């Protein structure tokens, strides 16, 4: 089949874009690596309302999945977050409540292997998408290869990266007390710990993202899972009682990064970047994939709404995509980075300022509502 668009990279962003374009009757080549289908990712992603809507429109929201992915250890792949509670390191606190914002949920915690499995099934059922391991000619090439994209390097695109002095450790734990659909986050001595509710509102499973020094992350990931669970029980002040291990831990280096150029022409043809290939940020706000899904939703919408005489590789259209998505990404990256920086300062004036700030925002309802809506992409 001759392709209209070739997507490089078959992660969540690439699969979603392929489905969005096939809905427009475009023929899509989806270039992936030849790895086996079953994912062993221990992470659970916080996805916002916009991401959920995109995936639902494609029939790829895991709620309705048959849940046969071999790596899942539970039966409810999506958990609505009713409340979020954040603790500073010196008495500061802030909480957000879905009901008081007039929403069903603040976000949804989604089991990553189940989401990947659901997307793969949807792609397999779409005759206009051809899965392949080698690229071919197309009017437009979309690079969705993630943060270490080889094609982006080949295209000569500068990728400015600022590594954080932290790595992220992710795992899954059983909590003695039910999480009650509450996402909890602690800022503590420069570290950030998030316990995300999984396995439904009544669940006792939490997805862990712990941002800490590379040495500490490596030591705990290689050590006894019980020792890690005990450390995190103490770090979370036993808010959910005793935590016990459910899965091995995995570690990711963290960086903020942004491609200078998101679209251009080369010997390959016209190209455009999306997802982590274009930008990465700290996972403390749980926004990386939300940004990637917003990229591909916007790109697909612009292509769909183009004047009938504009080709798929129309430079004006692609520059508009670049402009809009760069601006949205920068706004979010700035806020996330500022928070990470503020909580990594060890001197006492900073500790007072950040904890005072959390309490002030908590008491200022309009500002708090605005912040929550930004994070929810409403
Ligand atoms: C610990 C942690 C927690 C996170 N939590 C959240 C969260 O709660 N919410 C959220 O929104 N985001 C979260 N993120 C961010 C999220 O993981 C990324 O933003 C997201 O995975 C990016 O998706 P992607 O498809 O753009 O890239 P990737 O997931 O990196 O996928 C790229 C794909 O391209 C393939 N590929 C690469 N090179 C080639 C090649 N040369 N040829 C063919 N295929 C290739 C890869 O095999 C892969 O399948 C988190 C990140 C971390 C590290």
Span between the terminal Cα atoms of the chain, in Å: 39
In this predicted structure, what is the pLDDT of residue 285?
75
Atom of ligand 1 nearest to the CA of 254: 53
In this predicted structure, what is the pLDDT of residue 91?
75
332 C-alpha to ligand 1 centroid (Å): 18
Q: Whose CA is nearest to atom 47 of ligand 1?
A: 33
CA distances (Å), origin 66, targets 78, 114, 200, 230, 256: 13, 9, 16, 34, 36
299 C-alpha to ligand 1 centroid (Å): 18
Residue in 276, 279, 281, 285 to alter for ligand 1 test, most ligand atoms within 8 A of Cβ: 276
pLDDT in tens, 269-293: 999 999 999 999 888 778 899 999 9
Atom of ligand 1 nearest to the CA of 109: 8
Write the burial class of residue 101 (CB in 10 Å: 0-12 exposed, 13-18 middle, 19+ buried). middle
In this predicted structure, what is the pLDDT of residue 140?
98
In this predicted structure, what is the pLDDT of residue 37?
58
362 CA to centre of own chain? 25
368 C-alpha to ligand 1 centroid (Å): 30
What residues line ligand 1, using a CB cutoff of 6 Å?
Answer: 8-14, 31-33, 43, 45-46, 144-146, 150, 168, 170, 209, 252, 275-276, 283, 286-290, 292
Please answer whether residues 235 and 87 qualify as being in contact, where contact means their C-beta atoms are separated by less than 8 angstroms. Answer: no
72 C-alpha to ligand 1 centroid (Å): 19
In this predicted structure, what is the pLDDT of residue 33?
84
Atom of ligand 1 nearest to the CA of 43: 3
In this predicted structure, what is the pLDDT of residue 340?
62
13 C-alpha to ligand 1 centroid (Å): 8
Kindly tell me the number of DSSP H helices and DSSP E strands found in the chain: 10, 18
Atom of ligand 1 nearest to the CA of 290: 11
Query: CA 330 to CA 322: how far, in whole Å?
Result: 12
Could you give the angle at the alpha carbon of 362 between the alpha carbons of 360 and 363, nearest 5°? 65
Atom of ligand 1 nearest to the CA of 170: 1
In this predicted structure, what is the pLDDT of residue 149?
98
In the predicted model, residues of the chain with pLDDT beneath 70 are 35-37, 64-74, 334-378
89 C-alpha to ligand 1 centroid (Å): 30
271 C-alpha to ligand 1 centroid (Å): 19
Query: CA 52 to CA 110: how far, in whole Å?
Result: 10
In this predicted structure, what is the pLDDT of residue 70?
46
């Amino acid at each position: 089949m001759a392709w209209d668009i070739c997507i490089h990279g078959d992660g969540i962003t690439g699969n979603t874009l392929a489905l969005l374009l096939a809905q427009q009757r475009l023929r899509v080549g989806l270039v992936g690596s030849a790895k086996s289908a079953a994912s062993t990712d221990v992470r659970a992603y916080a996805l916002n309302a916009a991401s959920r809507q995109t995936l639902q429109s494609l029939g790829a929201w895991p709620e309705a999945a048959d849940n046969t992915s071999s790596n899942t250890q539970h039966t409810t792949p999506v958990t609505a977050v009713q409340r979020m509670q954040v603790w500073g390191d010196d008495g500061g606190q802030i909480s957000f409540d879905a009901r008081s914002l007039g929403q069903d949920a603040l976000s949804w915690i989604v089991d990553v292997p189940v989401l990947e499995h659901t997307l793969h099934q949807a792609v397999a059922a779409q005759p206009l998408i051809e899965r392949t391991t080698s690229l071919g000619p197309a009017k437009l090439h979309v690079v969705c290869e993630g943060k270490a994209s080889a094609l982006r390097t080949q295209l000569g695109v500068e990728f400015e990266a600022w590594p954080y002095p932290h790595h992220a450790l992710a795992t899954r734990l059983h909590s003695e007390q039910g999480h009650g659909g509450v996402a909890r986050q602690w800022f503590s001595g420069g570290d950030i710990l998030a316990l995300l509710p999984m396995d439904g509102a009544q669940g006792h499973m939490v997805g862990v993202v712990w941002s800490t020094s590379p040495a500490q992350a490596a030591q705990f990931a290689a050590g006894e899972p019980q020792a890690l669970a005990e450390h995190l029980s103490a770090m979370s002040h036993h808010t959910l009682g005793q935590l016990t291990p459910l899965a091995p831990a995995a570690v990711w280096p963290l960086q903020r990064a942004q491609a200078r150029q998101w679209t251009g022409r080369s010997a390959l043809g016209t190209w455009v970047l999306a997802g982590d290939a274009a930008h990465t940020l700290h996972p403390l706000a749980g926004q990386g994939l939300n940004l990637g899904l917003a990229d591909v939703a916007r790109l697909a919408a612009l292509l769909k709404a183009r004047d009938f005489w504009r080709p798929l590789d129309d430079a004006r259209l692609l520059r508009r995509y670049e402009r809009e998505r760069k601006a949205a990404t920068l706004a979010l990256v700035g806020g996330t980075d500022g928070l990470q920086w503020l909580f990594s300062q060890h001197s006492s004036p900073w500790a007072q300022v950040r904890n005072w700030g959390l309490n002030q925002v908590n008491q200022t309802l309009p500002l708090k509502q605005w912040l929550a809506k930004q994070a929810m992409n409403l």
